């Protein structure tokens, strides 16, 4: 139901970014890029027998790392991760790799800086788990159009000033962007849902939230104050939720929020 109503703004996204000449996308190093509030990490893995790769993030280069998602494709070769919900300011990333032998290993760290206004103005995106459908399709090209080989002798170092990450047609991989409501939206800094309704004393407002199967999961029959904050824990699980905002028994708006 939700997929039939969305705005397909990611029809064919080209994310261009600059990277330092010393960067190498062969583990333990990573290439990193940020565009329009979306952070992308990419690297070449030369390892067999990998059990899992967790992507960890912190606003501090040395402490307080938390896992923001897992790499879906852990086969040897090109790998990538998309963080659609970065922190405002500094975003430090590292990979926590677990091998089949239970040996654990950390990658090097990279930093991306995201402006708070960019985050605030970004459209509604699915949680990171859903965005990894895009990561498996990412191709890394040089500005001249050649595909980066991934060989440790020539990958990026001294060759590339700009990379292009090409994300294919979302019709193939079910990747979508949603129009952001001005009245009901996920606060990008807290993850909670904000409601800012006009003339709340003059109208009778109510709101209903639905999951991806169009099943009602929560309803507020009367919204008597504005602004209000709905704690994200009320939604039980991460994901996209549709809402119907009602004013005086008439539907005022249908929109979407992300719980992440």
Q: Which segment of 52-56, 77-81, 193-197 scores lowest on mean pLDDT?
A: 77-81
Per-residue model confidence (pLDDT) at position 58: 94
Mean pLDDT over 51-64 rounds to 93
Q: Is residue 179 part of a domain?
A: no
Q: Which of 9-18, 56-65, 81-90 has the lowest mean pLDDT?
A: 9-18
Return the pLDDT at 26.
74
pLDDT mean across residues, the chain: 77
Measure the CA–CA gap between 24 and 6, rounded to whole angstroms. Answer: 37
Provide the residue range defining the domain that includes 252: 184-259
Q: What is the mean pLDDT of residues 21-30?
A: 62
More confident of the two residues 28 and 229: 229
Looking at 146, 173, 200, the residue that finishes a domain is 173
The lowest-confidence range among 60-69, 150-159, 233-242 is: 150-159
Q: Does 223 or 188 have the greater pLDDT score?
A: 223
The verdict on 90 and 190 lying in the same domain is no
Q: Which of 126, 143, 173 is the last residue of a domain?
A: 173
Residues 191 and 82 in one domain: no
pTM of the model: 0.62
Q: Max CA-CA distance within the chain?
A: 68
Q: Which residues pair with 186 in a beta bridge?
A: 193
pLDDT higher than threshold 70 for residue 150:
no
Range in 16-25, 126-135, 153-162 with the lowest mean pLDDT? 153-162
pLDDT at 130: 79
Give the model's confidence band at 139: pLDDT under 50 very low, under 70 low, under 90 confident, else very high: low
Same domain, 219 and 196: yes
pLDDT digits (tens, 9 = 90+) for 66-120: 999 999 999 998 899 999 889 889 999 999 999 999 999 999 999 999 988 888 7
How would you class 171 by CB atoms within 10 Å of its CB: exposed for 0-12, middle for 13-18, buried for 19 or more? exposed
Residue 33 and residue 105 share a domain: yes
Band (pLDDT 50/70/90 cuts) for residue 124 is confident
- Judge if 86 and 189 occupy the same domain: no
165 and 190 share a domain?
no
Instruction: Flag whether 242 is in a domain.
Output: yes
Can you read off the two tokens belonging to residue 249? 């028994």
Same domain assignment for residues 57 and 102: yes
143 and 232 part of one domain? no
Q: Which CATH number goes with the domain that contains 208?
A: 2.60.40
| Residues 195-211, mean pLDDT to the nearest whole number | 95
Indicate the residue among 173, 200, 216 that finishes a domain: 173
Q: What gap in Å lies between CA 52 and CA 209, rounded to an integer?
A: 34
Q: Does 20 have pLDDT greater than 60?
A: no
Q: What is the mean pLDDT of residues 151-175?
A: 37
> Do residue 102 and residue 134 come from a single domain?
yes
Number of domains in the chain: 2
Query: Which strands make up the sheet holding 205-210, listed edge to edge?
Result: 216-223, 205-210, 239-247, 250-259
């Amino acid at each position: 139901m939700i997929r039939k109503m969305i705005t397909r703004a990611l029809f064919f996204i080209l994310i261009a970014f600059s990277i330092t000449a010393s960067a190498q996308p062969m583990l333990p190093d990573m290439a990193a890029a940020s565009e329009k509030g979306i952070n992308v990490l990419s690297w070449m893995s030369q390892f067999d027998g990998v059990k899992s790769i967790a992507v960890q993030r912190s606003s501090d280069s040395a402490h307080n790392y938390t896992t923001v998602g897992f790499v879906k494709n852990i086969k040897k070769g090109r790998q990538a991760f998309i963080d659609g919900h970065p922190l405002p300011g500094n975003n430090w990333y590292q990979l926590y790799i677990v091998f089949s032998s239970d040996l654990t290993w950390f990658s090097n760290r990279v930093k991306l800086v995201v402006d708070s206004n960019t985050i605030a103005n970004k459209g509604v995106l699915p949680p990171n788990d859903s965005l990894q459908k895009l990561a498996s399709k990412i191709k890394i090209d040089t500005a001249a159009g050649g595909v980066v080989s991934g060989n440790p002798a020539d990958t990026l170092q001294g060759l590339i000033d700009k990379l292009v990450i090409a994300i294919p047609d979302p019709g193939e991989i079910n990747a979508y962007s949603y129009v952001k409501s001005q009245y009901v939206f996920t606060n990008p800094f807290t993850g909670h849902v904000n409601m800012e309704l006009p003339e709340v004393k003059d109208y009778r407002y109510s709101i209903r939230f639905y999951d991806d199967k169009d099943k009602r999961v929560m309803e507020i029959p009367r919204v008597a104050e504005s602004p209000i904050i709905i704690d994200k824990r009320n939604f039980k699980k991460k994901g996209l939720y549709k809402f119907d905002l009602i004013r005086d028994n008439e539907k005022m708006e249908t929109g979407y929020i992300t719980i992440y």
